[in-house]
Every structure is written in C-alpha cells, then in structure tokens.
Amino acid sequence: MLTMRQCCEAILQSANEKALNYAVAYARHGLACEGYEAKVQALYILNNMTHWRGPMAKAVRASLKTIAKG
C-alpha cells in the first residue's frame, strides 16, 4: 500500500495525462494533508481520477480507497 504522499506524488508525475486534469490540483494539496483532512482529500482525488488507467493508477486507487476508509 502506498502512503498519501506517494499517491499524490504519483499523480503529480503523471500530470500530463488528460484523465487527471482536476486530480492534479487536489494531489498538490494532498501532499500537506494529515489525519481527517487526508481522508477527505483522498475522496476528492478518487472522484477526479476515474478515467486514469494502468498499473500505477490501480495501485494509487486502491491505496486511496484504504486511506479514505481510515
């Protein structure tokens, strides 16, 4: 499982993909989030990366779902 910071960094590294347009801004903010705020930010990121595909996307999506659940 990836940490919140690793998930956000993976999204920022793939920022040029059209499927991540809005998720990039949420990921930038997510780098500084902790605790409850990180859970909420994970949900925002998840909702804005629904069309991102590939092995890294799958790992990030699974990790963010775990973070959002607490």
* 41 membership: H or E segment, kind and range: helix 36-47
Please write the tens of the pLDDT for every residue from 22-36.
999 999 999 999 999
Q: Which residue do the tokens 């780098």 mark? A: 31
Q: How far apart are CA 64 and CA 13, in angstroms?
A: 16
* Closest alpha carbon to 45 in 59, 25, 66: 25
Question: What is the structure's pLDDT at 70?
Answer: 85
67 CB burial (10 A radius; 0-12, 13-18, 19+): buried
Percent of the chain whose predicted confidence (pLDDT) is above 90: 99
Domains held by the chain: number: 1
Question: What is the structure's pLDDT at 23?
Answer: 96
Question: Residue 9 sits in which domain range?
Answer: 4-69
pLDDT band for position 52 (50/70/90)? very high
